[in-house]
């Protein structure tokens, strides 16, 4: 087939295709592959495969294995960093090409962008997780609330009839602890109830300012600095102001608590093109991003995996509901909440919210 026709054919494919010659240099690259690797066709042509995404990247590794005589190989979930926005998740397959006489004389790479699928499966598992919390919450409320009322009543009675101080104190402790458990169960019930959001146009900066003002009076933030990097052109979002206030209070409080020895909490807002939310049909929707970055110790990988599970805490005195509730409310807004931690660079919490709440939307 003439090369021009081959190029047309390759461009029509939904997958990225790169043809390499026997030396491992790019002979052909189609439109999708050029989008994924972030290089124009002209810039990519003739480059050794190592100079597409670096010598250590799966693309170069698999290509070299195949060129050295190996068979077809595949690697799923390879991150491909992008100049703008977050990395793509790509499936890379490499296969040998054979010339006249069946001698190997090159390789073909197929690159399949799996980013959207991965994000969608993440959303589904997040939804399932939240639904499971709801079922657990309803079960606990049922099993715990009624006997708790009895325990509290008995404690009050004991306190009234106590003959000595020690018994009175013990009875008061029963009442206090029963109240504490009752409050926890009430918090947990949020997952079970489908409380409606009270939607209105919301100025996110005002909410963030209010949350930070409240925390300014709290000794937890006494040693830390707060930096606001607000995008003044940020439009109002359609949201429930009280719930968002609760979310940002939780997140900012976590950040300040992580920086007991002092540090900087930077809160940035912007409209985003990079980390996008998508509609149920997969279309990107206008999204605002609030990012809280703290210079605390960061979060270990094994802890990171368990974040957002109700009652998971590493803080003495913590209830472990802050993040779970925040995630719940952001999900109810069809948004996304992600926690990232890079060793030595503290913790970054990204909250993405759709500008408008359109019915039937799913977030990615
Ligand atoms: N900014 C942060 N830096 C480091 N660790 C964090 C940060 N935010 C959260 N964590 C970790 O996540 C855990 C869970 O946070 P979460 O807010 O859900 O509960 P908590 O802060 O422990 O208790 P509370 O219910 O009072 O908020 C914390 O115990 C802490 O280990
Ligand atoms: Mg917390």
What are the residues whose beta carbons fall under 8 Å from the beta carbon of 150, sequence distance 6 or more? none
Residue 21 is encoded by which pair of tokens?
Answer: 């010659």
CA-324 nearest atom, ligand 1: 18
Query: 292 CA to middle of ligand 1, Å?
Result: 14
44 lines ligand 1 (CB under 6 A): no
Q: Which ligand is nearest to the CA of 298?
A: 1
pTM of model > 0.85: no
Q: What's residue 274's pLDDT?
A: 47
For 82, the 3-state DSSP assignment is: coil
Q: How far is CA 17 from CA 11, 42, 50, in A?
A: 9, 15, 16
Q: Which ligand is nearest to the CA of 255?
A: 1
E strand map for 316-363? 336-341, 347-354
Alpha carbon distance 350, 289 (integer Å): 7
Nearest CA to ligand 1 atom 31: 314
Alpha carbon distance 75, 62 (integer Å): 8
Q: Which of 246, 322, 324 to mutate to test the pocket of ligand 1 (most atoms within 8 A of CB)?
A: 322
Furthest C-alpha separation in the chain? 103
Query: 6 CA to middle of ligand 1, Å?
Result: 55
207-223 b/e with 16+ CB inside 10 Å = b?
A: bbeebbeebeeeebbee
Kindly give the parts of the chain with pLDDT less than 50: 274, 360-364
Q: What's residue 258's pLDDT?
A: 94
Residue 36 is encoded by which pair of tokens?
Answer: 């994924």
Q: What's residue 112's pLDDT?
A: 94
Q: What's residue 273's pLDDT?
A: 60
Query: 151 CA to middle of ligand 2, Å?
Result: 29
325 lines ligand 1 (CB under 6 A): no
Yes or no: say if 106 and 71 are a contact pair by the CB < 8 Å rule.
no
Query: 335 CA to middle of ligand 2, Å?
Result: 20
The DSSP letter of residue 28 is E
Q: Which ligand is nearest to the CA of 323?
A: 1
Q: What's residue 243's pLDDT?
A: 93
Query: 168 CA to middle of ligand 1, Å?
Result: 35
Q: What's residue 319's pLDDT?
A: 86
Q: Which ligand is nearest to the CA of 318?
A: 1
Query: 321 CA to middle of ligand 2, Å?
Result: 7
Q: Tell me the H-state helices in 100-164.
A: 115-161
Q: Which of 260, 310, 313 to mutate to test the pocket of ligand 1 (most atoms within 8 A of CB)?
A: 313
309 lines ligand 1 (CB under 6 A): no
């Amino acid at each position: 087939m003439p090369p021009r026709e081959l190029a047309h054919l390759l461009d029509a494919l939904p997958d990225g295709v790169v043809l390499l010659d026997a030396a491992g240099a790019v002979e052909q690259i189609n439109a999708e592959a050029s989008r994924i690797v972030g290089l124009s066709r002209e810039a990519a042509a003739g480059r050794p495969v190592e100079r597409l995404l670096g010598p250590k990247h799966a693309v170069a590794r698999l290509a070299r294995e195949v060129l050295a005589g190996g068979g077809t190989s595949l690697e799923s979930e390879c991150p491909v960093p992008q100049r703008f926005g977050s990395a793509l998740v790509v499936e890379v397959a490499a296969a040998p090409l054979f010339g006249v006489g069946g001698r190997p004389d090159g390789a073909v790479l197929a690159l399949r962008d799996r980013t959207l699928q991965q994000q969608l499966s993440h959303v589904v598992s997040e939804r399932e997780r939240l639904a499971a919390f709801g079922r657990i919450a309803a079960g606990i409320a049922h099993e715990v609330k009624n006997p708790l009322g009895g325990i509290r009543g008995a404690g009050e009675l004991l306190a009234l009839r106590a003959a000595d101080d020690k018994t009175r104190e013990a009875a008061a402790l029963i009442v206090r602890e029963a109240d504490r458990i009752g409050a926890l169960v009430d918090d947990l019930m949020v997952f079970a109830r489908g409380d409606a959001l009270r939607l209105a146009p919301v100025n996110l900066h005002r909410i963030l300012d209010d949350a930070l003002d409240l925390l300014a009076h709290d000794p937890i933030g006494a040693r830390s600095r707060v930096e606001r990097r607000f995008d003044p052109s940020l439009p109002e979002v359609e949201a429930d102001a009280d719930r968002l206030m609760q979310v940002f209070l939780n997140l900012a409080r976590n950040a300040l608590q992580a920086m007991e020895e002092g540090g900087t909490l930077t809160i940035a807002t912007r409209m985003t093109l990079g980390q996008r939310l998508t509609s149920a049909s997969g279309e990107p929707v206008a999204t605002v991003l609030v990012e809280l970055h703290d210079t605390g110790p960061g979060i270990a990988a094994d802890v990171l995996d368990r974040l957002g599970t109700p009652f998971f805490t590493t803080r003495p005195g913590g209830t472990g509901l802050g993040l779970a509730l925040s995630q719940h409310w952001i999900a109810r807004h069809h948004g996304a909440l992600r926690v990232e931690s890079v060793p030595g660079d503290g913790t970054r919490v990204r909250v993405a919210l759709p500008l408008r709440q359109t019915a039937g939307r799913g977030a990615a």
